[in-house]
Amino acid sequence: MTSWTRRELGIGAAALGSALGPARAQAKPRVVVIGGGIGGATAAKYLAAGNALDVTLVEPQSRYATCIFSNLYLAGLWSLESLTHGYGTLAERYGVTVVKDAAAAIDPAIRRVRLAGGASLAYDRLVVSPGIAFQFGEIDGYDEAATEFMPHAWSAGPQTRLLRARLEAMEDGGVFVIVAPPEPFRCPPGPYERASLAAYYFKQFKPRSKIVILDVKDSFYQQEVFRDGWDRHYPGMIEWLPARSTGGVKAVDVRAGLVRTGRETIRASVTNVIPRQTAGAVAHSAGLVDARGWCPIDPETFESRLLPGIHVVGDAACAGDMPKSAFCANAQAKACAAAILTALTGARPSRLHLLNTFYTFLAGNDAMGDAAVFTPADGTIKRSGAFLTQAGEQPETRRRTAREAVGWYDAFTRDVFG
């Protein structure tokens, strides 16, 4: 078997630092992490933190823009730049080797990851956190090319920028249509927070505009709290149409700006189609995905039920009751890192703590803060407690939560990216 040195992988010696010379690196068990998003970056950091493992993070982009708070960017409240993070601290402070490339294939038999650039990496354990991919074909006329006309903006970056540009260019009195996706999808409150914050922007600059949410579901996360917020802040501006009243979304005409439901055709000034989702492409090609489209995992170690030695965290994982959120991806990555440290170094296992929190904005100074606790049980992960924002809370409570949310973003992204 070929043995690859870092030099052959095209990584500059300077980036490695003398402490990570080949001899010492080879003495430590090797963990490769695919995907430098929320789950992958957290896993890399917590795996490397004890300095017992040789950790390599594979990520094609040199900077990562968070979906978290990207709806605040759409509202004109935050810049995309302030939502963008690099990998310098993971490399410098934690000794993670960051490889700017995409994983093209995984060979579990010989425990190697082949990179798009041609090189390959050997691993003792592999962590896969590739996020989501979109399943086109469900809505007639909505394919990959259509995303340039009706952006999904469901992974942050150019798509988010495009949607913001569309909203800025929209005339006052226009109609913004959001097509909300089927379960399970990344960020359950996300489409409805997006409607709230688009309304926040319209209220100031385009007050005659309307927002129509065409849902393929008949209910949504914290529906009462959202509707209460919409009534208070944007009366008459947001219309939510469940599948039972429209017959679902059937087709789009991206050039004419038309959206056809089971009942009618709506002319939209701007359309945001959030399609059905599945695990990221590399999870599919590696054989980590089951018939449901997600990666089945052991609820304590996040090791794949299909391919031993490979762990899946974040949105791609099928994690029982845990929603697909950054907070969950971060908690799962920590639990997974602990399990891998236990397996590779004999460290004693710790009890799992799986939590989620959602800070969700209804307006610039009105946010809800929800929390839930999860426990591995019966081979899956069950929600064992939930503490949810209620409709009709004091405005001061909501203002305080909005301030807290900003502090959370700061602390959370430091926890993930170093």
Ligand X SMILES: Cc1cc2nc3c(=O)[nH]c(=O)nc-3n(C[C@H](O)[C@H](O)[C@H](O)COP(=O)(O)OP(=O)(O)OC[C@H]3O[C@@H](n4cnc5c(N)ncnc54)[C@H](O)[C@@H]3O)c2cc1C
126 part of the interface to ligand X, by CB under 6 A: no
CB half-sphere exposure, 337, CA atoms < 13 A: 27
User: Judging by DSSP bridges, how do beta strands 249-253 and 310-312 pair with one another?
Assistant: unpaired
Judged by CB under 6 A, which stretch of 126-134, 139-147, 302-310, 378-386 contacts ligand X?
126-134
Q: In 3D, which of 275, 168, 303, 175 has the Cα closest to residue 216?
A: 275
Q: Which helix (H) or strand (E) holds 272?
A: strand 270-273
> Shortest gap between Cβ of 69 and ligand X (angstroms)?
7
Q: Which residues 6+ apart lie within 8 Å of 239 measured at CB?
A: 210, 211, 212, 213
**Minimal CB distance residue for ligand X:** 37
Tokens of 244: 């039972």
Residue 230 identity (one-letter amino acid)? W
Q: In 3D, which of 105, 271, 304 has the Cα closest to residue 178?
A: 271
15 binds, among other proteins, ligand X, none (CB under 5 to 8 A by kind): none
Number of H helices, E strands in the chain: 12, 24
Residues in the chain: 418
> Shortest gap between Cβ of 79 and ligand X (angstroms)?
16
209 part of the interface to ligand X, by CB under 6 A: no
Of residues 130, 151, 248, 369, which one binds ligand X by CB under 6 A?
130
Q: Using CA atoms, how far apart are residues 313 and 338, in angstroms rounded to an integer?
A: 13
> Which of the residues 356 through 385 are near other proteins (CB under 8 A)?
357, 369-373, 375, 377, 382, 384-385
3-state DSSP call for residue 183? coil
> Which of the residues 58 through 97 are near other proteins (CB under 8 A)?
none
Of residues 266, 338, 362, 381, which one binds other proteins by CB under 8 A?
338
Of residues 209, 325, 389, 401, which one binds ligand X by CB under 6 A?
325
256 binds, among other proteins, ligand X, none (CB under 5 to 8 A by kind): none
Q: Using CA atoms, how far apart are residues 326 and 35, in angstroms rounded to an integer?
A: 14
3-state DSSP call for residue 316? helix
Of residues 58, 237, 307, 322, which one binds ligand X by CB under 6 A?
58
Judged by CB under 6 A, which stretch of 87-95, 183-191, 230-238, 367-375 contacts ligand X?
183-191
Buried b (16+ CB within 10 A) or exposed e, 55-64: bbbbbeeeeb
**Positions that interact with ligand X (CB under 6 A):** 34-40, 58-61, 64, 67-68, 70-71, 102-103, 129-131, 154-155, 186-187, 190, 280, 282, 314-316, 324-327, 329, 358-359
**Positions that interact with other proteins (CB under 8 A):** 46, 49-50, 52, 327, 330-331, 334, 338, 341-342, 345, 347-353, 355, 357, 369-373, 375, 377, 382, 384-389, 397, 403-408, 410-412, 414-415
